[in-house]
Amino acid sequence: MPTFAYTAKNHQGQKFSGTIDNALNANDVRDELEKMGYSLLKVHKDKKRKGTSKRVTQDEVVEFAFKFSGMYSAGLGVMHCLEVLEEQAENLAFKDILSDVRTKVSSGASLKKAFEPYESIFTSYFLGMIEAGESSGELAKVLEMTAEYLENKMLIHRKVKHAFTYPIVVVSVCTVVITALVMFVVPMFSKIYTRMNVPLPGPTQALVLVSDLVLNWWYLIIGVGVVGFFVTRRWLKNPHNKVRIDKLKLQLPVFGNLNRLVVVSRFNRTFATLISVGVPVMEALDVAKQVAANEHMSEITEILKGKIQAGTAVARAFEVHEIFPSIIIHMADSGEQAGRLPEMLIKGSEFVDKDIDRIISSLLVKLEPILTVSMGSLIGGILLAVYLPMIDYMNHIT
């Protein structure tokens, strides 16, 4: 998306400038500012800042959250914290963002509203927690919990990325090798066998057929792939289909349990953190379902809200749904009985996070040999099919 630079004024008539990264056009900028209670005066595309949101790393966001939390807890005001952090920022794109946030806050905007245009960078979790901290008066505590959550999320993401780096490299290399065999090696041997009038066994005939299809109908294959991509993309825009896909992600044979635990960890930790600072349960559930980023979890959350509103205990509401691990249910039950629900739920999330680490490590150990053997067998099978006629021919001569 393009970056727009704007000048606006607040209710007191004070003018200020800033940038917005999540708008498609000037009308979107106007709508975004009106939501925050500002009046747009002028706007234009800022080519110098184009792509700002893509240049800020999660490492920088986590570092910012920890520093913001530490300074605010030490007694510095919000504006002072933002000024110091803006001055310390080495990344010019991040410096621009913090400058824009500081300008909005100085003009009367809440922290949540000031950060809202940069949700793609700071995440919906960050915005929801900031809003909860401001409304509850527990901003220092919320900032600390938010920083810890973002760091934990980043570490899990790195572990997942590391776990799948080797499989992706292996599959990519094998794809290139197989493509080269099918497009160059197989046609060459096919011509040789035709000139020699060598009969082709079944596996070789099938391989030659595939090679001919790829060479002669490549444009049709690409066309079908492109059409399939856009059809699938349109299909996924349907909310019901999105729910089906998100539910399927939690039921996959190998990765389903990992996906389920990640979703539950996000949901549970967010819910626990919010109620620990005094956010009402219903509001906490609404924020938690957004952070979970899974439409099936959103459906479950609506059912949970209905049960809890009807007087059902949190643990009893959780145990109706198989998505919640037993450890979360037991910790919720113990927490409610002891009057320490938030603390026990967070402890439950820590257990779930350990399970996530264990599953990732286990997947990595299992995937490496399986992929190596599978890809090696596939390439070996293709080469065998290529040389089978030659072997038969040599045996016939001898």
CATH of the domain at 43: 1.20.81
| Structure-token match 């004024």, residue found | 9
The answer to whether residue 136 sits within a structural domain is: no
CA 347 to each of CA 42, 173, 335: distance values in angstroms, whole numbers, following the listed order: 50, 42, 10
| Last residue within a domain, chosen from 80, 109, 138 | 109
The answer to whether residue 137 sits within a structural domain is: no
- 201, 72: one domain: no
Query: Distance between CA atoms of 9 and 104, rounded to whole angstroms?
Result: 10
Contact between 64 and 141 (Cβ < 8 Å): no
In this structure, what token pair is assigned to residue 85? 């952090």
| Last residue within a domain, chosen from 81, 109, 137 | 109
SS3 state of residue 75? coil
- 252, 346: one domain: yes
* Crossing angle of helices 341-397 and 202-216, rounded to 10°: 110
Q: Dihedrals φ, ψ of 157, to 5°? A: -60, -40
Query: Distance between CA atoms of 245 and 251, rounded to whole angstroms?
Result: 10
The answer to whether residue 247 sits within a structural domain is: yes
CA-based R_g, the chain, Å:
28
- 197, 103: one domain: no
In this structure, what token pair is assigned to residue 186? 């197989």
The answer to whether residue 246 sits within a structural domain is: yes
CATH number at residue 294: 1.20.81.30
The answer to whether residue 121 sits within a structural domain is: no
pLDDT at residue number 32: 78
Name the CA dihedral angle for 188, 194, 198, 200, rounded to a multiple of 10 degrees.
70
Please name which of 332, 327, 312, 321 lies closest in space to residue 271, comparing C-alpha atoms. Answer: 332
Please write down the long-range contacts of 253-259, taking CB distance under 8 Å and 24 or more positions apart.
254/363, 255/363, 257/359, 258/356, 258/359, 258/360, 258/363
The answer to whether residue 171 sits within a structural domain is: yes
pLDDT at residue number 148: 86
Query: Distance between CA atoms of 326 and 305, rounded to whole angstroms?
Result: 20
Please name which of 58, 28, 31 lies closest in space to residue 45, comparing C-alpha atoms. Answer: 28
Query: Distance between CA atoms of 64 and 68, rounded to whole angstroms?
Result: 6
Element holding 16 (H helix, E strand): strand 15-20
pLDDT at residue number 22: 62
pLDDT at residue number 109: 87
Q: What order of strands is seen across the sheet that includes strand 4-9? A: 15-20, 4-9, 39-45
CA 311 to the chain's CA centroid: 34
pLDDT at residue number 165: 82
- 28, 167: one domain: no
pLDDT at residue number 53: 43
- 168, 69: one domain: no
Please name which of 264, 265, 243 lies closest in space to residue 350, comparing C-alpha atoms. Answer: 265
pLDDT at residue number 2: 67
Total number of domains in the chain:
2
| Last residue within a domain, chosen from 63, 91, 109 | 109
DSSP 184: I
- 182, 55: one domain: no
CA 147 to the chain's CA centroid: 18
In this structure, what token pair is assigned to residue 216? 């002669």
Structural domain containing residue 341: 163-398
- 255, 349: one domain: yes
The answer to whether residue 89 sits within a structural domain is: yes
- 98, 169: one domain: no
- 252, 364: one domain: yes
- 105, 244: one domain: no
The answer to whether residue 272 sits within a structural domain is: yes
- 92, 175: one domain: no
- Which residues of the chain fall below pLDDT 50? 50-54
Query: Distance between CA atoms of 186 and 180, rounded to whole angstroms?
Result: 9
First to last CA, the chain: 69
162 C-beta neighbours (distance < 10 Å), count: 11
Query: What pTM value is reported for the model?
Result: 0.71
- 217, 356: one domain: yes
Residue-wise pLDDT for 188-203, tens only, equals: 999 988 888 888 889 9
CA 105 to the chain's CA centroid: 29
